[in-house]
Amino acid sequence: MKSASGPIPVRPGDSLSALSPFVNTEGFLRVGGRLSRTALPWCHHHSLLLPRNGPVVELIVRRAHESEFHTGLNQTLTALRRRFWVVRGRQAVKRCTGACIICQKHDAPPFCPLMCDLPPERVTQSLPFNRVGLDFAGPLHVKD
């Protein structure tokens, strides 16, 4: 790829100023960084900068979530940031994982049925050892 056409003027107080955004020759907004001397591909040096919401961003986040086999927030965010930098990406991934049916089923609490009433033998007063319950286990030999 050719070198970038130049940085974008960003207000100093803006949240994007820390990302050093620039427009490349194809017109895409990319993130600047300090990885230009590494052996990584150019697309990893300068990730595409995406807005915080939108249908395309939702599809990209969902694709990253599914390609990581429905892992959690941090794993999906790491996979997403290999190629893209989503503004407020953590919130976008939370929205995606919260709407994922497979993750909802996996994270659902277990079913806990209601307990039935105790039998009258357990709640009425009686003399000690008047009623005895015994758990018996072992070999039972029955003669014909």
- The model's pTM is 0.68
User: How large is the average pLDDT for residues 89-110?
Assistant: 95
CATH code for the domain defined by 6-107: 1.10.340.70
pLDDT digits (tens, 9 = 90+) for 8-53: 666 766 777 788 888 888 888 888 877 778 888 877 778 899 998 8
Asked if 48 and 19 count as a contact pair (C-beta separation under 8 A), the reply is no
**What average pLDDT does the structure give for the chain?**
86
Give the pLDDT score at 44.
75
Query: Residues 6 or more apart from 134 whose CB is under 8 A from it?
Result: none
**2 pLDDT exceeds 60?**
no
- Assigned token pair, 34: 């300090």
**69 pLDDT exceeds 90?**
yes
